[in-house]
Every structure is written in C-alpha cells, then in structure tokens.
C-alpha cells in the first residue's frame, strides 16, 4: 500500500490555530496547473464516513466520493460487498485513516485496488509534522507522535482535521492537476470553517468548570479531543472496543462516585447496556456522543463535532440539562 504524505514544508507554526490554517492553506504545491477541465469527476474511495465528508468538502463537484463504511456504521462492524471491490478497483485515490483504526480493511483494499491507485493514510502521514502540529522530534531527528497508535481518532481535534484536509487536497491535486485551483480554493474555505468550528467548540465548552471536565465513555476514542479542550478521559474498553471486564466496570463506577462526575457518555455504534448499568449503579445521567459515526441527524463532521460539544456542555456544565 503506497503512503502519500505530501504536506509541503512551511515555516513552523506558533501553535495558534489561525496561523496554522494560513500555513496549511498556503502549502498546496507548486505553480498553477492547467485550467482545462477534466472529463469527469475523480472517484475517491474512503474507509470511513468522516473521511468521505472531508473529501467532499475539498473536492466538491470535481470528485465522486464513496465511503466503504456508511452513515450509522463504523469500521468495527464493516462487512465488505462486491460493490466495494469494484469501487476500490476504479478509484483514483483511496483515503484511509491509518494508525490501526481501519487495518481490517487493508486486505480488501490491497486485493482490489489498481496498481496506480494512490492510497493516503492520513493519520500516519501526519507523523511527518512539517508545520509543528505534533510534539518535538526525537534525538535522531525522527518526528514522534506519542499515543497515536493507542488513539488513532485524530479528527476529534479539529486542528488535526485541518491536517487531514491538507493531505486530501494534495492527493486530489496529484490525481487531477487540471483542477488544482478548485481543490485549493475548496480546501482554503473548509480550513477556515474548521478554524471557526474549533473556536465555537471552545466557547460551548466554556460553561464546563475544570473540575467537571471528566469524560467517561464506552471506548477509548476521545484522547485527542480531551487534550485539545482540557478533559480527563476514562473508558470501559480500549480503542478497538473489545470486551468489557467486570473490573473495568467496578473501576469506572468507583471513579464516577469518587469524583462526583454528573454524566457518562455512550456511543451510537456500540451496545449501550453495560454503560447504562454503570450509570444506574453510580446514579448519574447518560449522554450520547459520536467518535466516528455520522448519522442522518449529524451527517457531516462539523455537525457531529458541534453536537458532541453541546451534549457535553448540557450534561457537564454549571447547570446540567439546562
């Protein structure tokens, strides 16, 4: 599987999201490409609905996007169909997350893709850290990304989602240079939208006092969200959503009681019975948030993130449930 990591070198970011956005917007490649329109949209296949939504925002009408995992589903429960193999074979670009999240789909992709198909592993490619998104390099100069393998859900930090957008833009430019300006323009606009989203989430979560910023979920997917917005996180099971042990249940109940946590949070794609039993035992409320599932109610990444923030503020804020 060929890895594309084409974010261009730029001046180091100072950490402010607005500055980072400008750097990403400016790092899209070389000189202007030909203006002749391509004969039809470029087929982009993605492993997740989140990646598909990001791709549609960058590609617009110039691309056709198909997600292997559709609305209401996630990679943990994916079942391949013959139609998936056909789409993979015809795709010019395949977008995967990497970091172990969608590794189960790798054999399907490798077995069906054409030899000249570009495969973009977004989370892995961000390891290159050309604009200062990640922690400092190791002593031998290799960029590091602590905890990435433990939590590949990078998009839950909108700043990392901006990095995804830059990679998607560059992959589309490589696949269809004639539409370079379209992809750049769309990516610039979407980066600005994600910048505003990040500020909006901060404002929404401002009603939650520091002592209430305790995020208890079913599976361990919200580490990057937590680090961005100042939460401590706990979960009943790990990143891959394995079996829940009695010890894990007891530990979470004890934590919720000891710390006075007012609510815990289920996810739509997982069975909620165990988590709701924890809530009953601890005497707290249950909210529903999403890590990687888009639904008819929240069919886009921006809407999912906005809904998550509102739910957290309603159940953990100074006046829960207001």
Which residue from 163, 25, 42, 22 is spatially nearest to 98, judged by alpha carbons? 163
CA atoms within 13 Å, Cβ hemisphere of 57: 25
Q: What is the mean pLDDT of residues 84-106?
A: 93
Task: Report whether pLDDT(303) > 80.
Answer: yes
Whole-number pLDDT of residue 319: 57
Give pLDDT tens digits for 235-270: 877 655 556 777 777 888 888 888 899 999 988 777
- 82 versus 318: the higher-pLDDT residue is 82
The pLDDT, as a whole number, for residue 285 is 92
Per-residue pLDDT band for 193 (boundaries 50, 70, 90) equals very high
pLDDT value at residue 14: 37
pLDDT score recorded for residue 241: 58
Give the residue with greater pLDDT, 49 vs 2: 49
Residue 32's nearest CA partner among 210, 163, 178, 196 is 178
Residue 201 has pLDDT above 90, yes or no: yes
Quote the pTM value. Answer: 0.80
Statement: 17-202 belongs to CATH 3.40.50.300: no
CATH of domain 206-316: 3.40.50.1980
Those residues whose C-beta lies under 8 Å from the C-beta of residue 244, and which sit 6 or more positions away, are: 236, 237, 274
Sign for the CA dihedral angle at 252, 257, 258, 260 comes to: positive
Higher pLDDT, 126 or 320: 126
Mean pLDDT of 148-169: 86
Instruction: Give one word for 15, left, alpha or beta, with left for phi > 0 and alpha for psi -120 to 50.
Output: left
pLDDT for the residue numbered 240: 57
Confidence band of 5 (pLDDT split at 50, 70, 90): very low
Helices 158-175 and 49-59 sit at what angle, rounded to 10 degrees? 60
pLDDT of residue 77: 65
Q: What is the mean pLDDT of residues 288-308?
A: 94
Among 201, 240, 237, CA closest to 216 = 237
Write down the pLDDT at residue 256: 87
pLDDT score for 15: 39
Q: Which one is predicted more confidently, 212 or 150?
A: 212
Q: How far apart are CA 66 and CA 46, in angstroms?
A: 6
Highest mean pLDDT among 6-10, 161-165, 236-240, 276-280: 161-165
Q: Say how many C-beta atoms besides its own lie within 10 A of residue 277's C-beta.
A: 12
Provide CATH 3.40.50.1980 ranges for the chain. Answer: 17-202, 206-316
Res 252: pLDDT? 83
């Amino acid at each position: 599987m060929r890895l594309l990591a084409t974010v261009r070198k730029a001046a180091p970011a100072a950490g402010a999201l607005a500055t980072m956005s400008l750097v990403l917007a400016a790092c899209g490649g070389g000189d202007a490409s030909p203006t002749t329109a391509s004969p039809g949209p470029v087929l982009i296949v993605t492993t997740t609905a989140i990646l598909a939504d990001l791709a549609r925002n960058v590609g617009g009408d110039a691309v056709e996007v198909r997600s292997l995992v559709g609305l209401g589903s996630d990679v943990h429960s994916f079942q391949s169909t013959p139609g998936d193999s056909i789409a993979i074979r015809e795709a010019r670009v395949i977008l995967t997350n990497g970091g172990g999240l969608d590794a189960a789909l790798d054999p399907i992709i490798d077995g069906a893709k054409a030899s000249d198909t570009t495969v973009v592993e977004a989370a892995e490619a961000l390891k290159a850290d050309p604009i200062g998104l990640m922690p400092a390099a190791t002593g031998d100069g290799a960029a590091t990304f602590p905890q990435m393998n433990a939590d590949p859900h990078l998009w839950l930090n909108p700043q990392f989602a901006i990095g995804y957008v830059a990679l998607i833009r560059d992959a589309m430019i490589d696949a269809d240079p004639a539409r370079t300006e379209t992809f750049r323009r769309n990516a610039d606009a979407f980066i600005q939208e994600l910048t505003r989203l990040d500020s909006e989430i901060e404002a929404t979560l401002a009603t939650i006092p520091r002592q209430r910023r305790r995020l208890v979920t079913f599976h361990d997917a919200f580490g990057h969200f937590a680090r961005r917005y100042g939460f401590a996180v706990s979960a009943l099971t790990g990143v891959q959503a394995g079996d829940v042990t009695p010890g894990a249940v007891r530990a979470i109940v004890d934590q919720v009681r000891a710390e006075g946590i007012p609510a815990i949070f289920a996810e739509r794609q997982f069975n909620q019975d165990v988590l709701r039993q924890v809530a009953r035992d601890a005497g707290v409320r249950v909210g529903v948030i999403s890590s990687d599932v888009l639904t008819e109610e929240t069919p886009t990444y921006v809407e999912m993130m906005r809904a998550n923030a509102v739910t957290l503020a309603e159940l953990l804020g100074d006046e829960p449930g207001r």
